[in-house]
Amino acid sequence: MYKKKPFLIVFEGVEGCGKSYQSQKLIRSLKKKRINPILTREPGGTRSAELIRTLILKDYFNKGKEDKFDKYTDTLLYLAARNEHIKNKIEPALKRKKVVICDRFIDSTIAYQVYGKKVNRSFIDNIHKFILQGIKPNLVFILKVSSKSSKSRLKKRKTKNRYDNFSQSFYTKAQKSFLKIAKNKKNYFVLDSSSNNTNLEKKILNIVFKKLKIK
Protein backbone atom coordinates (compact mmCIF):
# COMPACT_ATOMS: atom_id res chain seq x y z
CA MET A 1 0.00 0.00 0.00
CA TYR A 2 1.41 3.38 -1.04
CA LYS A 3 1.93 5.75 1.85
CA LYS A 4 1.76 9.38 0.76
CA LYS A 5 5.06 11.21 1.28
CA PRO A 6 7.07 14.05 -0.27
CA PHE A 7 9.32 12.67 -3.00
CA LEU A 8 11.45 14.47 -5.59
CA ILE A 9 12.46 12.57 -8.74
CA VAL A 10 14.85 14.20 -11.20
CA PHE A 11 15.77 13.27 -14.76
CA GLU A 12 19.17 14.49 -15.98
CA GLY A 13 21.25 14.10 -19.12
CA VAL A 14 22.30 15.83 -22.31
CA GLU A 15 19.94 17.00 -25.04
CA GLY A 16 18.26 14.19 -26.92
CA CYS A 17 18.67 11.67 -24.09
CA GLY A 18 14.90 11.26 -23.66
CA LYS A 19 14.43 12.99 -20.29
CA SER A 20 11.14 14.66 -21.17
CA TYR A 21 9.82 11.52 -22.85
CA GLN A 22 10.58 9.27 -19.88
CA SER A 23 9.28 11.88 -17.41
CA GLN A 24 5.92 11.87 -19.18
CA LYS A 25 5.84 8.07 -19.31
CA LEU A 26 6.48 7.92 -15.58
CA ILE A 27 3.72 10.45 -14.88
CA ARG A 28 1.18 8.33 -16.77
CA SER A 29 2.22 5.15 -14.94
CA LEU A 30 1.96 6.81 -11.52
CA LYS A 31 -1.47 8.22 -12.35
CA LYS A 32 -2.64 4.69 -13.13
CA LYS A 33 -1.70 3.84 -9.55
CA ARG A 34 -3.88 6.74 -8.37
CA ILE A 35 -0.90 8.85 -7.44
CA ASN A 36 -1.23 12.40 -8.68
CA PRO A 37 2.36 13.56 -9.31
CA ILE A 38 3.51 16.98 -10.47
CA LEU A 39 5.65 17.28 -13.61
CA THR A 40 7.86 20.33 -13.90
CA ARG A 41 11.11 21.48 -15.52
CA GLU A 42 14.17 23.68 -15.19
CA PRO A 43 14.82 26.36 -16.07
CA GLY A 44 11.13 27.16 -15.74
CA GLY A 45 8.23 25.51 -13.96
CA THR A 46 6.49 28.70 -12.86
CA ARG A 47 5.36 31.81 -14.76
CA SER A 48 8.25 33.94 -13.46
CA ALA A 49 10.85 31.19 -13.97
CA GLU A 50 9.61 30.62 -17.53
CA LEU A 51 10.13 34.34 -18.26
CA ILE A 52 13.73 34.00 -17.08
CA ARG A 53 14.07 30.85 -19.23
CA THR A 54 12.99 32.82 -22.32
CA LEU A 55 15.54 35.52 -21.52
CA ILE A 56 18.36 32.94 -21.20
CA LEU A 57 17.39 31.13 -24.41
CA LYS A 58 17.10 34.33 -26.45
CA ASP A 59 20.55 35.40 -25.31
CA TYR A 60 22.16 32.36 -26.92
CA PHE A 61 20.99 33.48 -30.36
CA ASN A 62 22.64 36.90 -30.12
CA LYS A 63 25.27 36.98 -32.85
CA GLY A 64 28.05 39.02 -31.27
CA LYS A 65 30.02 37.82 -28.26
CA GLU A 66 29.88 41.31 -26.79
CA ASP A 67 26.06 41.08 -26.78
CA LYS A 68 25.96 37.83 -24.81
CA PHE A 69 25.64 37.46 -21.06
CA ASP A 70 28.80 36.89 -19.09
CA LYS A 71 28.93 33.28 -17.80
CA TYR A 72 28.27 34.47 -14.23
CA THR A 73 25.27 36.55 -15.33
CA ASP A 74 24.02 33.49 -17.20
CA THR A 75 24.50 31.30 -14.10
CA LEU A 76 22.76 33.82 -11.83
CA LEU A 77 19.76 33.83 -14.15
CA TYR A 78 19.52 30.03 -13.90
CA LEU A 79 19.76 30.26 -10.13
CA ALA A 80 17.15 33.03 -10.03
CA ALA A 81 14.78 30.82 -12.03
CA ARG A 82 15.50 27.95 -9.61
CA ASN A 83 14.74 30.14 -6.61
CA GLU A 84 11.33 31.05 -8.09
CA HIS A 85 10.69 27.42 -8.99
CA ILE A 86 11.52 26.06 -5.54
CA LYS A 87 9.70 28.76 -3.56
CA ASN A 88 6.54 28.74 -5.66
CA LYS A 89 6.23 25.16 -6.89
CA ILE A 90 8.59 22.48 -5.58
CA GLU A 91 8.61 23.38 -1.88
CA PRO A 92 4.80 23.86 -1.62
CA ALA A 93 4.24 20.56 -3.48
CA LEU A 94 6.60 18.64 -1.18
CA LYS A 95 4.89 20.15 1.86
CA ARG A 96 1.63 18.70 0.50
CA LYS A 97 3.40 15.31 0.32
CA LYS A 98 3.36 15.25 -3.47
CA VAL A 99 5.59 13.26 -5.80
CA VAL A 100 7.41 15.85 -7.92
CA ILE A 101 9.09 14.85 -11.19
CA CYS A 102 11.54 17.44 -12.48
CA ASP A 103 13.12 17.56 -15.94
CA ARG A 104 16.59 18.87 -14.95
CA PHE A 105 17.69 20.23 -11.59
CA ILE A 106 20.91 21.13 -9.77
CA ASP A 107 23.15 18.57 -11.52
CA SER A 108 22.56 20.30 -14.87
CA THR A 109 24.01 23.48 -13.36
CA ILE A 110 27.08 21.57 -12.16
CA ALA A 111 27.53 19.74 -15.48
CA TYR A 112 27.00 22.72 -17.78
CA GLN A 113 28.11 25.73 -15.76
CA VAL A 114 30.86 24.27 -13.55
CA TYR A 115 32.37 21.54 -15.75
CA GLY A 116 31.33 23.11 -19.05
CA LYS A 117 31.80 26.85 -18.57
CA LYS A 118 34.26 26.70 -15.64
CA VAL A 119 32.07 28.74 -13.30
CA ASN A 120 33.43 28.59 -9.74
CA ARG A 121 31.79 25.67 -7.87
CA SER A 122 31.76 27.37 -4.47
CA PHE A 123 29.98 30.39 -6.02
CA ILE A 124 27.07 28.10 -6.99
CA ASP A 125 27.19 26.01 -3.79
CA ASN A 126 26.92 29.11 -1.58
CA ILE A 127 23.85 30.39 -3.44
CA HIS A 128 22.31 26.91 -3.38
CA LYS A 129 22.52 26.88 0.43
CA PHE A 130 20.05 29.77 0.50
CA ILE A 131 17.91 28.65 -2.42
CA LEU A 132 17.52 24.94 -1.68
CA GLN A 133 16.99 25.14 2.08
CA GLY A 134 17.85 21.46 2.38
CA ILE A 135 15.71 20.31 -0.56
CA LYS A 136 17.45 17.60 -2.56
CA PRO A 137 16.28 14.86 -4.93
CA ASN A 138 15.27 11.51 -3.45
CA LEU A 139 15.96 9.83 -6.76
CA VAL A 140 17.99 10.89 -9.81
CA PHE A 141 18.00 9.21 -13.21
CA ILE A 142 20.99 10.02 -15.42
CA LEU A 143 20.06 9.02 -18.95
CA LYS A 144 23.15 8.09 -20.93
CA VAL A 145 22.77 8.30 -24.71
CA SER A 146 24.90 7.56 -27.77
CA SER A 147 25.82 10.52 -29.98
CA LYS A 148 24.02 8.87 -32.91
CA SER A 149 20.72 8.59 -31.00
CA SER A 150 20.86 12.10 -29.56
CA LYS A 151 21.65 13.62 -32.99
CA SER A 152 18.74 11.74 -34.56
CA ARG A 153 16.31 12.97 -31.89
CA LEU A 154 17.50 16.58 -32.05
CA LYS A 155 16.99 16.61 -35.84
CA LYS A 156 13.35 15.62 -35.35
CA ARG A 157 12.61 18.46 -32.93
CA LYS A 158 10.26 21.08 -34.34
CA THR A 159 11.37 23.79 -31.91
CA LYS A 160 14.96 24.07 -30.79
CA ASN A 161 16.55 25.93 -27.89
CA ARG A 162 20.12 27.04 -27.17
CA TYR A 163 21.29 23.63 -26.00
CA ASP A 164 20.09 21.84 -29.12
CA ASN A 165 22.70 23.69 -31.17
CA PHE A 166 25.91 22.94 -29.29
CA SER A 167 28.76 20.89 -30.76
CA GLN A 168 28.95 17.14 -30.25
CA SER A 169 32.15 17.61 -28.24
CA PHE A 170 30.20 19.76 -25.76
CA TYR A 171 27.55 17.04 -25.32
CA THR A 172 30.23 14.37 -24.87
CA LYS A 173 31.93 16.47 -22.20
CA ALA A 174 28.60 17.22 -20.48
CA GLN A 175 27.64 13.54 -20.44
CA LYS A 176 30.97 12.64 -18.82
CA SER A 177 30.24 15.31 -16.21
CA PHE A 178 26.84 13.80 -15.40
CA LEU A 179 28.44 10.36 -15.01
CA LYS A 180 31.09 11.83 -12.73
CA ILE A 181 28.40 13.48 -10.57
CA ALA A 182 26.49 10.18 -10.29
CA LYS A 183 29.50 8.08 -9.29
CA ASN A 184 29.14 6.26 -5.94
CA LYS A 185 25.79 7.89 -5.12
CA LYS A 186 23.15 5.41 -3.92
CA ASN A 187 20.11 7.37 -5.08
CA TYR A 188 21.52 7.91 -8.59
CA PHE A 189 20.77 5.50 -11.41
CA VAL A 190 22.63 5.68 -14.71
CA LEU A 191 20.54 4.10 -17.48
CA ASP A 192 21.26 3.76 -21.19
CA SER A 193 18.56 5.61 -23.10
CA SER A 194 19.95 5.20 -26.62
CA SER A 195 17.03 2.93 -27.55
CA ASN A 196 14.47 4.71 -25.32
CA ASN A 197 12.22 1.63 -25.51
CA THR A 198 9.75 -0.03 -23.16
CA ASN A 199 12.59 -1.84 -21.36
CA LEU A 200 13.97 1.49 -20.17
CA GLU A 201 10.49 2.59 -19.15
CA LYS A 202 10.07 -0.62 -17.11
CA LYS A 203 13.47 -0.21 -15.42
CA ILE A 204 12.59 3.34 -14.34
CA LEU A 205 9.16 2.26 -13.16
CA ASN A 206 10.54 -0.65 -11.12
CA ILE A 207 13.06 1.61 -9.37
CA VAL A 208 10.41 4.26 -8.60
CA PHE A 209 7.86 1.70 -7.39
CA LYS A 210 10.46 0.13 -5.09
CA LYS A 211 11.47 3.51 -3.62
CA LEU A 212 7.85 4.57 -3.13
CA LYS A 213 6.88 1.09 -1.90
CA ILE A 214 4.19 0.69 -4.55
CA LYS A 215 3.04 -2.79 -5.49
Of 191, 184, 194, 171, give the one whose Cα is nearest residue 14. Answer: 171
By the 10 Å C-beta count (0-12 exposed, 13-18 middle, 19+ buried), 209 is classed as middle
Q: Which tens digit of pLDDT belongs to each residue from 75-133?
A: 999 999 999 999 999 999 999 999 999 999 999 999 999 998 899 999 999 999 999 99
pLDDT value of residue 3? 82
Confidence of residue 31 (pLDDT cuts 50, 70, 90): very high
**Is the predicted pLDDT of residue 203 greater than 80, yes or no?**
yes
pLDDT value of residue 194? 83
Radius of gyration over every alpha carbon of the chain, rounded to an integer in angstroms = 17
**Is the predicted pLDDT of residue 157 greater than 90, yes or no?**
no
Give this prediction's pTM: 0.89
By the 10 Å C-beta count (0-12 exposed, 13-18 middle, 19+ buried), 42 is classed as buried
Domain coordinates in residue numbering, the chain: 7-42+96-126+133-212
Give the CATH architecture of domain 7-42+96-126+133-212: 3-Layer(aba) Sandwich (3.40)
**Is the predicted pLDDT of residue 70 greater than 60, yes or no?**
yes
CA atoms within 13 A on the CB side of 97: 6
Q: Which tens digit of pLDDT belongs to each residue from 166-201?
A: 666 777 888 999 999 999 999 999 999 888 678 999
